[in-house]
Amino acid sequence: MIIYIREKSGKTTAVKAAPSDTVRDLKIKIMQKGISLKFWDLMYFDEQLYSTKKLSDYGIKHKDTLYLKEALRGLGSSGFLLSIAQPSGDVMKMVVNKSDCVIDIKQEVEREGGPGVASQLLKVGDVEMQNEKTLMDYGIAGDAVIWLEDANESKRKSKEERKRKRVRNEKLKKRLIAVVFVIIFIIILIWAYLEGKIQINP
């Protein structure tokens, strides 16, 4: 089914969804359309939608419209500082919450002048961070540092590494075949000698 998302500016965006989708699933699809939900609540009429519930729980149907309402963020918010180390060596800092999705962080990076969302690869340690997961899913709930890499560059390096590995495997395969042929040849010579087929003159 199609759900319409209306922003405060009046702009409406169509998003494909299923009644069995959770609100969190829908939020991810909305953010993939380039709409940030970082400071917004998702509303159906006057009811705020909660991430763990399904769209069917709210009676949301095909061609219904949902609205974005500015979230209340009072003093004592659980925000903390996230540092994003870039390939250039620069560090981008932003205030985030543990419930923020990775794709939301990527959108913020893009707004701050970083690469586009599709070109970003965020890592915590050696683990690639997935768009639909939250910072809390990676154990990030306080001041932390994550790493930003160029996704296209990473794909290129990965492709080159696979190519090098394939070439190494091909070379190893050829060497093994050569060794097998030598062994077979030696076995044949020994057999022929023992059978008197050939003689070795002293």
* pLDDT tens per residue, range 157-169: 666 777 788 888 8
Burial classification of residue 183, based on how many CB atoms lie within 10 Å of its CB (0-12 exposed, 13-18 middle, 19 or more buried): exposed
Q: Is a pLDDT exceeding 50 seen at residue 77?
A: no
- Rounded-to-integer distance, Cα 51 and Cα 90, Å: 34
Is residue 153 a contact partner of residue 186, using CB atoms and an 8 Å limit? Answer: no
Write down the residue that tokens 């390939």 correspond to. 87
Other Cβ atoms within 10 Å of 17 Cβ, number: 20
Portions of the chain given CATH number 3.10.20.90 = 2-70, 80-153
Predicted local distance difference test score (pLDDT) of residue 31? 85
Predicted confidence at residue 86, as pLDDT, reads 87
pLDDT tens digits, 110-156: 887 888 888 899 999 889 999 888 898 999 988 889 999 887 765 66
Q: What is the pTM of this model?
A: 0.49
Pick 2-70's CATH classification: 3.40.1160.10, 3.40.50.300, 3.10.310.30, 3.10.20.90. Answer: 3.10.20.90
CA-to-CA distance for 71 and 39, rounded, in angstroms?
A: 5
Domain 80-153 architecture: Roll (3.10)
The dihedral through the CA atoms of 54, 140, 129, 70 has a sign that is positive
> What pLDDT score was predicted for residue 75?
35
How far, in whole angstroms, is CA 34 from its chain's centroid? 16
Residue type, 155: K
Alpha-carbon span 136 to 16, nearest angstrom: 27
Structure-model confidence comparison of residues 67 and 195, the more confident one: 67
